[in-house]
Amino acid sequence: MGSINGVGAAEQVREHLSALAAAIDGLTECDLTGLQDSELTSVMQQVEKALRRAGAVGHRLIVETAERSLPSKLGHKSVNKLLIGVLRISAADASARVTAAKALGTWHALSGEQLPADLPETAAAQRDGDIGPDHARAIREVIRKIPHAVASSDAAVAEQILAELARSATPEDVEKAGHELLAHLNPDGNLTDDKDRKRLRGIRFGRQDKNLMTPISGHLDPETRALLDPILAKWARPGMNNPDDPESPTGSTEHPTVDHDKLAAAAGRDTRTAAQRNHDAFKEALRALLGSGILGSHRGLPVTTILTMTIDQLEQQTGVATTASGGIVPIKDALTLAERSHPVLVLFDHNGRPLHLGRSKRLATADQRLALIAADGGCTRPGCDAPATMTAVHHVHDWSKSGTTDIGVLTLGCDGCHALIHDGPGGWQTRTAPEGTEYAGRTEWIPPPHLDPEQKPRVNHRHHPKELLERARRKANARKNADTPISREQPQRPTGSDGTEEFP
């Protein structure tokens, strides 16, 4: 609005707001019952795109408010306080909006010159309506964790790749791919600080956070607390099960092998909080429980922790490993867990699929399931994030229709997705991607016509974040090459075998 006088600017804004209000009134009063299914989903997508673009307008308003020092003029201590007072939103919402505007908004120097956004590609994706606040938040969290030692040019490329990925993926996809990206940028594997992880220890349940820690929250009923208390009394005593003290006794204080003099000495050295002792006792008790064998089996495998890592990760001891339940574990911690493990070597072909492991019976073997856990990571229906522990082995070609139980035609599917595979109306179909295609050997799911009239086969990338990053990298390079002609004098990055720019 810089070139428009005050009256003209106000008039223009009023016209746009009137049109916006009229459009919303019209959509509110529209009869949606006459829309076909495909039309209804299309309307949902268009409304969502408009709301995302409106978020970018909100960033402009916050920038203008801050640069005018409007909060102090109106008696507010900060932009956050002004938003709470003017918009009647929560403090958390106000904080989130201001944080987003700082990273995605276009700010100005004292001279009036526009400053580039902290996350320019992410800001552009939101202006286009392709990503929403959750996408942007996931990207910000990944970029925030890039070590300072990483070159700024590499960090910029990382943001470009994540923004491109966000245009066609979910915030959860961006978050998961971000873990892979951080592992690539930080090959030493110290993605989080050990002290932070120890400080966060406590009995809280929830999703893994950015520190790869899992919070636990909630309440225990009296019976559960009564069952837990005697375990903690024995296993969480000062000096017991202390991972920071090699002389600390492990297990229960009442075990006959425990030297009580050593326990007393270890207790004197124990500086852990009660919550940390509870955490360590809980971990040691789980380790003992899993090692006892009394839990039997789950989906054909012993109840235990299953970790997947590559030979390169094992040799270099860097990066992160994945668990069959969808968790992420730093390689250093994974190797500690593996000290008491039984290793299984699975060989894959050049398409990333297990080599032949066949069977003439209907039920898959434990070895076949282990191979599928390593190859598929979880349910293979596109968009499903169910980890391998929540899946069953599915025959790509139905066993009842002469399908075989060979590793090349087996896949993982959770119970809900498996039920979608049928020959009736609305049923999905599965097949193995043919040789010569991008994901040869992978399981393709063919959606029913009401979801995709063309019924294009799809693969699930949710458990393969490296694939998401690779696709986003190619798209980002293609977009950059289309938008900006490359000067001959400009130094070029090395390219990979596919002709695309290597990262980082």
- How much is the pLDDT for 249? 81
Single-letter code of the amino acid located at 323: T
State the pLDDT at residue 491.
40
Contact assessment for residue 108 and residue 124, using Cβ atoms and an 8 Å cutoff: no
In this predicted structure, what is the pLDDT of residue 494? 39
The beta strand positions in 233-332, using DSSP E, are 297-298, 301-302, 307-308, 320-323, 328-330
Task: For the chain, give the number of residues.
Answer: 504
Taking 3-state DSSP, the helix, strand and coil percentages for the chain, each rounded to the nearest 5, stand at 50, 10, 45
Question: CA torsion angle for 389, 390, 392, 395 (degrees, to 10)?
Answer: -100
Q: Are 122 and 138 in contact (CB under 8 A)?
A: no
Q: Which residue pairs, CB below 8 angstroms and at least 24 apart, start in 144-149?
A: 145/182, 145/191, 145/210, 146/182, 146/185, 146/186, 147/185, 147/186
CB neighbours of 200 closer than 8 A, spacing ≥ 6? 211, 213, 215
Q: How far apart are CA 445 and CA 429, in angstroms?
A: 6
* Separation CA 102–CA 127 (nearest Å): 15
CA distances to 198, 215, 244 from 274, rounded to whole Å, are 12, 16, 15
Q: Which amino acid is at 433?
A: A
Cis? peptide before 382, omega within 30° of 0: no
**Identity at 468, one-letter amino acid code:** L
Per-residue pLDDT of the chain (504 residues; tens, 9 = 90+): 444 455 588 899 999 999 999 999 999 999 999 888 888 888 999 999 999 999 999 999 999 999 999 999 999 999 999 999 999 999 999 999 999 999 999 999 988 899 999 999 999 999 999 999 999 999 999 998 887 778 888 888 899 999 999 998 899 989 888 888 887 776 655 544 555 545 445 544 567 777 877 776 665 544 455 556 667 767 787 888 888 888 888 777 667 777 777 888 888 888 888 888 888 888 888 777 766 666 565 555 554 556 777 766 776 777 777 776 666 777 777 777 666 555 555 555 555 555 544 444 445 566 677 778 878 888 999 888 888 877 888 877 665 555 555 666 788 888 788 888 888 888 898 888 888 888 888 889 999 887 888 889 999 988 888 888 888 888 888 877 776 654 434 444 333 333 333 333
- Listed by start position, the domains of the chain span 43-185
Rounded to two decimals, the pTM is 0.57
Q: What does the pLDDT read at residue 131?
A: 96
Pairing of strands 410-414, 429-432: unpaired
Q: In the 8-state DSSP scheme, what is residue 214?
A: -
C-alpha dihedral sign at 273, 274, 276, 281: positive
Do 470 and 181 form a contact (C-beta atoms < 8 A)? no
